[in-house]
Structure 1
């Protein structure tokens, strides 16, 4: 970077809030609340913002990328061969990938990176340990010979499931030689990697000051197209009002944490707002321990008693969009049909035809904060139209979730998000419950609502996990979503959305359904 660019960047960072400036043409300046970061080492990073940083600093063997964050694509591996019988996937590494240190990416870097996650055993390690890897066996399960890496797994898994695990954050490949130079007391470089980076991604970490600033610079040796911008500066700005002021004054290019009201108040033609579907799905569920909620007609009627459009046009405008299946839109295998609309007359007819006596009185547990209490009040009003009367029971998040885990609720308004990008993550939660007894606790919506899932649906969920044909596997998950959508005591209503306000001249920004799919590589400022 030349002296003029450096001076411009310094000016941008030093500007008082009341000043007006234009950011440099080749620098994207972002205002964002980044105080959630605990760690940026990919073996430990588990927060929203840290996921965003890891994605832009590191690569994986296979990955979801900026061109299409819904499609699993080649990363550090150019191709791979699957042997489902021997539970083995063999990867061929590309020969043009280098770390930002200048070191080439080698097979031994992959082996060491995976083993490092397992041996450190920090928060996200569970994603990789699903494959049967332990500190004792991981270096036998993952081996390298030149530019060939062989991955073995232990379990009845579809290779597609395994590939999605290997596309997750903790499977990022780090520069072994550089990291070991900074090892302290056997920590495998963990302390150093929580202040620095050693990846091969599209950007290098130029500076990181917790709860203050992140500065990324373009990796000119990146093996894919881009980055198209020289630098990304992420300023920690906790206050949404300050973010709006900075954006409207031209001191930043992008504001990531504006409220819906602030979004609505933007009138400048120089600012646009993009909406990105997120991974959390929001649902209303009925505990099958409550006798009045066990008739299937109650489930069927409920789907026509949600004022979907009314809520998305008012109390959750910009925060959620209508989505009625358990796997989020924007993920491979999603089912995006929304057949249900608010129709209280149809709901009343369904109940009458089934001989369900009304009124029905039901308690509805909800987290005591916006927008959840507002959503509960909307449901209370719309369900009353058909004689289903909700008594709203607000509580703290921990109180509501504890009650849910105990199966002591009647109706519940809550949300669910996947741990990683594979449909089994949610299918197990919404379409599987092989043991409905009280002492068979499972962290699923099905068990928590005491829904004894039909045997054939349980079988399909298990079969989809092991199906080796990716296309057939996605079809199975679509069918599971259709079945849950049509007949279950869980009414999936919405998917979270994320609004980002940015300068009209900013193009190419990609924000997938999770923070792991935030990409700056294709950003340009016209």
Structure 2
């Protein structure tokens, strides 16, 4: 699809702005591949939105040590857990300032009221701000948080107590995640509520994070300035710009010209153009990430395990890795990646076209055309990927129609089960296996909209519940190994690859540390 005149003009404007500012002292310009879904991080689950909002604008109750999955203090300096694991008491950091902008001027520091407001507006359907989230709280529901949090109460102005309905071993890691643990300004929320403009939480964000939101032009540019009052120390750049550049070739041009100093989620087919470039290097890391095919198990034919197994057997992963990822990925077998603790390494890869044909026949498939959803843009060529699947499945007599759409539309439509098949990827947000399995394949995540397979299986639910209760790491790992075997046996999802994440960095960029969660954190980045 050719860009419209208006979008072309916006992109040209962004290019000009980037060229003017990339060489200005203290300005970091980042080429991103897509617009964020919004800036109210509690509503969304995509990596692009996490980069634009997440740790850029907000702080979380807890944090992760940079570049690791280790939980460390965040807005909470310390915490206590009751012996029964049902109560968590957090002591908040003092002196944390919310952002001052043209649309909001805080009159006080962050305190317990803000934590309580942030949780209740997501967890309490009667809260005035709950209905203002047009996209709902997919991640919160998908992680089963609404059934977990019984109450959040104020012990004193800087102490909050969470009371749970059940013990939850990964709870601390959950509270370090951007969509679950981010703290918003209650004062700002109440100001918007009084004016009837609560939806502005998503368009004019206020956080306490390292950067302050300034402006946004969809599909063109996001501007931030450094939060000089940041409790963790001011960022090392004065300004941060996200130059939204859908065309991967234009991103390459901008990086080569020095208009962008960082390129996130680089497309595999473009990275070789920097092989002999003295000014740009490619940073590769293997995040906690799995790409997979999600068959809608509520739909005819796909509800039959034999048919799903046929799709898995016919899919040629080696060709897929070479053609779609340019070799920058590893064929996947288990749903969890090898870098995740509790990974099941004993599963055998499966590729048998003749057996797939037999299973298709046995399933009673009648040639009905199936809708395969894929996204426009992203880190890979979605059209090419979908066409490879279409070709593989045509060999066993399965007819597939490729439907391309924007990422936000795909998430919404697949979340409510409009698709027959789609393919997505999942990066862990906290390093715990529960965060890989629960948001993608639990019963709660079907209702929440993040379970693209629409799979709700009681034996699997029992394993998830056992894993959340168990405290012993080895016993937890054994539980999650059983869960991965069950996914494999039931073909609840078809893992495709474990991708390599690639970031382009100009030689002027220092201090960038890749995240195991496939997010980008710019608070410690400086420029030579």
Fold match by TM threshold 0.5: yes
Task: Evaluate the alpha carbon distance shift between residue 63 and residue 291 of structure 1 in structure 2; reply closer, same or farther with a 3 A threshold.
Answer: closer
* Equivalent residue, structure 1, for 2:67: 67
Matches within 5 A, 1:287-306: 299=309, 306=315
Does 2:260 correspond to 1:252? yes
Residues 211 and 226 in structure 2, CA contact (< 8 A), matched pair in contact too: yes
SS of equivalent residue, structure 1 residue 109: helix
Matches within 5 A, 1:219-230: 219-224=227-232, 227-230=235-238
Distance 2:57 2:412 in 1: 35
The equivalent position to 2:155 in structure 1, one of 144, 156, 164, is: 144
Residues 210 and 235 in structure 2, CA contact (< 8 A), matched pair in contact too: yes
SS of equivalent residue, structure 2 residue 333: coil
Unaligned runs of 5+ in 2: 1-12, 101-105
* Equivalent residue, structure 2, for 1:114: 119
* Equivalent residue, structure 2, for 1:194: 203
* Equivalent residue, structure 2, for 1:8: none
SS of equivalent residue, structure 1 residue 105: coil
Residues 202 and 226 in structure 1, CA contact (< 8 A), matched pair in contact too: yes
What CA deviation, in whole Å up to 9, does each residue of 1:220-248 have, x standing for no partner? 55444763434322234444443322221
* Equivalent residue, structure 2, for 1:5: none
Matches within 5 A, 1:2-21: 16=16
* Equivalent residue, structure 1, for 2:226: 218
Residues 107 and 147 in structure 1, CA contact (< 8 A), matched pair in contact too: yes
- Aligned CA RMSD, in angstroms, stands at 5.1
* Equivalent residue, structure 1, for 2:29: 29
Distance 2:525 2:258 in 1: 18
Residues 241 and 258 in structure 1, CA contact (< 8 A), matched pair in contact too: no
Matches within 5 A, 1:263-282: 263-266=271-274, 267-275=276-284, 277=287, 279=289, 281-282=291-292
Distance 1:507 1:373 in 2: 35
Residues 54 and 178 in structure 2, CA contact (< 8 A), matched pair in contact too: no
SS of equivalent residue, structure 1 residue 324: coil
What CA deviation, in whole Å up to 9, does each residue of 1:57-82 have, x standing for no partner? 221111335332x3333211122222
The equivalent position to 2:476 in structure 1, one of 473, 477, 480, is: 473
Distance 2:418 2:115 in 1: 43
What CA deviation, in whole Å up to 9, does each residue of 1:487-521 have, x standing for no partner? 64643222455543231332433454667x32112
Distance 2:26 2:448 in 1: 53
* Equivalent residue, structure 2, for 1:502: 505
- Offset at 1:150? 0.4
The equivalent position to 1:461 in structure 2, one of 455, 460, 464, is: 464
Residues 132 and 153 in structure 1, CA contact (< 8 A), matched pair in contact too: no
- Offset at 1:253? 0.6
SS of equivalent residue, structure 1 residue 185: helix
What CA deviation, in whole Å up to 9, does each residue of 1:459-505 have, x standing for no partner? 32331233345664354224422443466464322245554323133
SS of equivalent residue, structure 1 residue 208: strand
What CA deviation, in whole Å up to 9, does each residue of 1:266-324 have, x standing for no partner? 4423222334547563137597975997569x94x976764323321223337864333
Task: Evaluate the alpha carbon distance shift between residue 96 and residue 127 of structure 1 in structure 2; reply closer, same or farther with a 3 A threshold.
Answer: same
* Equivalent residue, structure 1, for 2:373: 367
- Offset at 1:381? 6.7
Task: Evaluate the alpha carbon distance shift between residue 469 and residue 322 of structure 1 in structure 2; reply closer, same or farther with a 3 A threshold.
Answer: same
* Equivalent residue, structure 2, for 1:317: 326
SS of equivalent residue, structure 2 residue 215: strand
* Equivalent residue, structure 1, for 2:239: 231
Residues 307 and 341 in structure 1, CA contact (< 8 A), matched pair in contact too: no
Distance 2:330 2:232 in 1: 33
* Equivalent residue, structure 2, for 1:9: none
SS of equivalent residue, structure 1 residue 519: coil
TM-score, structure 2 length as denominator? 0.70
Task: Evaluate the alpha carbon distance shift between residue 270 and residue 513 of structure 1 in structure 2; reply closer, same or farther with a 3 A threshold.
Answer: same
Distance 1:404 1:20 in 2: 41
* Equivalent residue, structure 2, for 1:6: none
Distance 1:317 1:325 in 2: 21
Task: Evaluate the alpha carbon distance shift between residue 16 and residue 404 of structure 1 in structure 2; reply closer, same or farther with a 3 A threshold.
Answer: closer
Answer with 479-488 or 399-408: which moved more: 399-408
- Offset at 1:417? 4.1
Task: Evaluate the alpha carbon distance shift between residue 164 and residue 84 of structure 1 in structure 2; reply closer, same or farther with a 3 A threshold.
Answer: farther
Residues 189 and 201 in structure 2, CA contact (< 8 A), matched pair in contact too: no
Distance 1:497 1:366 in 2: 24
Residues 43 and 138 in structure 2, CA contact (< 8 A), matched pair in contact too: no
Residues 279 and 495 in structure 1, CA contact (< 8 A), matched pair in contact too: yes
Residues 264 and 504 in structure 2, CA contact (< 8 A), matched pair in contact too: yes
The equivalent position to 1:520 in structure 2, one of 512, 519, 522, is: 522
Residues 227 and 523 in structure 1, CA contact (< 8 A), matched pair in contact too: yes
Residues 91 and 148 in structure 1, CA contact (< 8 A), matched pair in contact too: yes
Q: How many residues align?
A: 485
Task: Evaluate the alpha carbon distance shift between residue 63 and residue 487 of structure 1 in structure 2; reply closer, same or farther with a 3 A threshold.
Answer: same
Matches within 5 A, 1:399-418: 412=421, 414-415=423-424, 417=426
The equivalent position to 2:250 in structure 1, one of 242, 252, 260, is: 242
Distance 2:391 2:49 in 1: 40
Distance 1:88 1:30 in 2: 41
* Equivalent residue, structure 1, for 2:6: none
Unaligned runs of 5+ in 1: 1-12, 435-439
Answer with 51-60 or 257-266: which moved more: 257-266
Residues 508 and 522 in structure 1, CA contact (< 8 A), matched pair in contact too: yes
